[in-house]
Amino acid sequence: MAGSSMKDIKLRIRSVESTMQITKAMQLVATSKLRRAKERMENSKPYASVSSEALQAAVARCADQNVPYVTARPVRRRLYIVIAGERGLAGGYNSNVFKAVAAHCGDTPYCALPLGRKAIEKYHRLGVELLSEEYGRVENLSVSRCYRIAGLVTDGYLQERFDEVWLVHTSFRSMMSQEVRTEQLLPVPVTEQKTAESPETVYEVDASEALERVMPDFLAGRLYSALCDSFVSEVSARRMAMDSATKNAGAMISDLTLRYNRARQGAITQEITEIVAGAEE
């Protein structure tokens, strides 16, 4: 009996060891991807801040006009652009994003533009209408791909297929914490903060026309920076998750080894007793 339990424990140890090898490898991969991803994120930041300022200025200019990108209309349907990962094993990274969407949408009907394979799978399963299913890869998504996505969004918005566009993505705060953000993209929300622009600003074309022209560009830039941000979050979330998984595996192995040694000891003791008992007869 002792022999079979020893064998069982040995098998468990082996299987935990191989799991640990995988988690360790994934952790290393995440660590090496992190540096590059962070660099990309830092590079995408200036555009996001500068363009949002210019956007606000133009929006403030034509707040009283009827511009489709600015003027709110009754919301019959929303579009959620959901950025998630390509694979799992990243702690709560994917599920947190989906939870945020579920919490935000309430009863309003919605369609989705999932970016990242996990998001596509999720919304496919839910039976939500998808704008596109071709953006499964989110790592190293190029700027020009973002333009195509932005074009898809603005076209649908102008054709009134949906009346509001929301972006749900994960924002990187530190290696330990990432935060899910839900932001309205269209119609462009007007903030009260004062813009640097003076009312005398000369517009080459009418502000509303300027807005119509640059909106797809700005949207693409916004998506690009959100994607970079999310990818850094994904990688660091995975690194954390794999780090603790590796630690747990290590603890399990040492526990199992202890049990294995005890069982072995027990088996030896029993054998000795049997031999001694045999000799005495």
Distances in Å between the Cα of 22 and the Cα atoms of 16, 28, 30, 34, 261 are 10, 10, 12, 18, 26
- Rule CB under 8 A: is residue 51 a binding residue for other proteins? yes
- Rule CB under 8 A: is residue 140 a binding residue for other proteins? no
**Residues touching other proteins: how many (CB under 8 A)?**
33
- Chain positions 66 to 105 lying near other proteins, rule: CB under 8 A, are none
Please select the residue that binds other proteins; options are 79, 138, 146, 235, rule is CB under 8 A. 146
Backbone angles phi, psi at 172, to 5 degrees: -85, 120
- Rule CB under 8 A: is residue 63 a binding residue for other proteins? no
What's the chain's Rg over C-alpha atoms?
28
- Rule CB under 8 A: is residue 204 a binding residue for other proteins? yes
- Shortest CB 133 distance to other proteins, Å: 20
Which segment (124-132, 181-189, 220-228, 273-281) binds other proteins by CB under 8 A? 220-228
Please select the residue that binds other proteins; options are 40, 181, 259, 264, rule is CB under 8 A. 40
CB count, 10 Å around CB of 258? 11
Burial-class residue 201 by CB neighbours within 10 Å (0-12, 13-18, 19+). exposed
| Distance, CA of 188 to CA of 216 (rounded, Å) | 12
Please select the residue that binds other proteins; options are 59, 60, 180, 207, rule is CB under 8 A. 207
- Helix (H/G/I), strand (E/B), else coil: 191: coil
> Which of 18, 96, 97, 89 is CA-nearest to residue 242?
89
Minimum CB distance to other proteins smaller for 66 or for 144: 144
Question: By the criterion CB under 8 A, which residues form the site for other proteins?
Answer: 40, 43-44, 46-47, 50-51, 54, 57-58, 143, 146-147, 196-198, 200-205, 207, 209-210, 213-214, 217-218, 220-221, 224-225
